[in-house]
Amino acid sequence: MGIQSKYLGRVTLVGAGPGDPDLLTVKASRAIQQARFIMYDNLVSHEIRALFPEGAEKVFVGKSKGMHCATQDQINTLLLNAALEGKDVCRVKGGDSFVFGRGGEEMLMLAKQGVEVDVIPGITAASGCTSYADIPLTHRGLAQGCTFVTAHADKELDINWDALAQLKQTLVFYMGLSKTDMLMEKLTKGGLSENTPVAFIENGCTPKQRVLIGKLHQLTSLKQQHKIQSPALIVVGEVVSVAKQMDWLGQLSGRQLRKVEHERTLQMTA
């Protein structure tokens, strides 16, 4: 039985997208602008934080590799206590709450305690960042599907690497920056060619976006050479070649084919 009280607040899980405030949904933007109590994560961009109402109470509960402002248990407790105090909580997460964002865990915990939960989906990083990098997740003749994988786990990753390598789909790895050696080893052992195109997308959908392109066997050297920092997605698959074609066509015509407000660095590695 959950806690029953007419004074319970409600929690809204808001997916804030991959960084560009223009990618917020209308519903997410409205929820943020009307919020009086906001809990937000590390991956919520500074541009989106600037939209938080001046008078709102703001609590940062960000997590990054090796640096946890709050553990997930502590975040759960903060969410529940705020709701029990009658506060309506706007829980803002980067990307989409249900794609490696632990939104499902928070929703279930709160629901078990009788707290009403609303969910506002957001554009997940794999979709938003690849689009801004001119890399389609699917492309006729190159990839008929895509798979999102987290390279982070509390314990050992439970992944069938052989099956993953043989999907012939686009692979997008979240939180994989510190696991590049493992990704190269596991995927090539699973049967993926070491010459498969790969891309790092650093700070995707923000003014600091960089796109670094190479081959699977160059993953770690590419990271080290260009000092790639988190947050960064890793894209593996033939679709990465589309970005090269777009860059070549732009150079050929002497103009940028698609106007993007963000800086875009495209590095070519043979």
Question: Active-site residues: which are they?
Answer: 41, 63
What does each C-alpha distance from 215 to 136, 139, 219, 222, 231 come to in angstroms? 17, 19, 7, 9, 20
The token pair that represents 76 in the structure block: 């759960």
Give residue for tokens 């699977």: 216
Q: Alpha helix locations (H) across 69-156? A: 72-84, 103-112, 125-132
Asked if 83 and 9 count as a contact pair (C-beta separation under 8 A), the reply is: yes
The token pair that represents 233 in the structure block: 């997605």
Q: Alpha helix locations (H) across 113-232? A: 125-132, 161-165, 180-189, 219-225
Q: Is the dihedral of CA 107, 108, 113, 114 positive or negative?
A: positive
Count CA atoms closer than 13 A to 71's CA, side-chain side: 3
Which has the closest alpha carbon to 183: 160, 208, 161, 212? 161
What does each C-alpha distance from 53 to 49, 84, 213 come to in angstroms? 9, 23, 39
Give residue for tokens 């939209």: 51
Tell me, rounded to whole angstroms, the distance of Cα 174 from its chain centroid: 7
Q: Identify any residues that bridge with 235 across adjacent strands, giving them in sequence order.
A: 172, 199
